[in-house]
Amino acid sequence: MKVAIYPGSFDPITLGHLDIIRRAARCFDKVYVCVLYNCDKKTPMFSPEERLEMIRRSVAEIPNVEAELFSGLLADYAREKKASILVKGVRNATDFDLEYQMAAINRGICSELETVFLPASSAYQHFSSTMAREMIRYGQPLEKYVPQAVAEALKQKTE
């Protein structure tokens, strides 16, 4: 059984993330989407619980995908889940440079842990959670870029 982890901050999950999750779910028997802490992103817009809830609602229809929170080292979470694969979406050369280093670090921590890069679909190449947060701050409609669960959560927050 091939178990994969798709880790990230997901602040909030975007359609680009969801596209990677769907594709990973076709490649592996089980995919855990893991909301983790990124120490470079100190002021999240959504709490970890809100992010998890938006992900859970977005992946509800994909049978071999589960979403969880974890605070700690990604490699420890992978060990706990008996996962041998980390999935990372790559949009451009900047993502690749960072993820290439991260893959080496994670393999250094746990030698059995392989990172698999999935190239972002062209429709989502220019979009990120950072862009989503910027658009939210300026009240811009986001339906084209985020799952319905995020749009609904935002509506509830602003009502």
Q: Measure the CA–CA gap between 6 and 17, rounded to whole angstroms.
A: 9
Distances in Å between the Cα of 131 and the Cα atoms of 102, 103, 127, 145, 146 are 22, 25, 6, 10, 11
Structure tokens, 58: 């977005």
Q: Is-catalytic flag, 128?
A: no
Q: Which is nearer to ligand PNS, 57 or 91 (CB)?
A: 91
Choice among 2, 41, 126, 157 that is catalytic? 41
Identify the DSSP state of 47.
Answer: -
CB of 88 to ligand PNS, least distance (A): 8
Choice among 17, 30, 51, 88 that is catalytic? 17
Structure tokens, 118: 């999935």
CB of 22 to ligand PNS, least distance (A): 18
Q: Measure the CA–CA gap between 131 and 3, rounded to whole angstroms.
A: 30
Q: Which is nearer to ligand PNS, 41 or 157 (CB)?
A: 41
Structure tokens, 136: 């939210």
Choice among 81, 91, 107, 133 that is catalytic? 91
CB of 38 to ligand PNS, least distance (A): 4
Structure tokens, 37: 């802490």
Taking residue 16's Cβ as centre, other Cβ atoms within 10 Å add up to 23
Q: Which is nearer to ligand PNS, 36 or 67 (CB)?
A: 36
Q: Is-catalytic flag, 129?
A: yes
User: Under the rule (CB under 6 A), what is the footprint of ligand PNS?
Assistant: 7-9, 36, 38, 41, 73-74, 105-106
Q: Is-catalytic flag, 157?
A: no
Q: Is-catalytic flag, 17?
A: yes
* Catalytic residue set: 17, 41, 91, 129
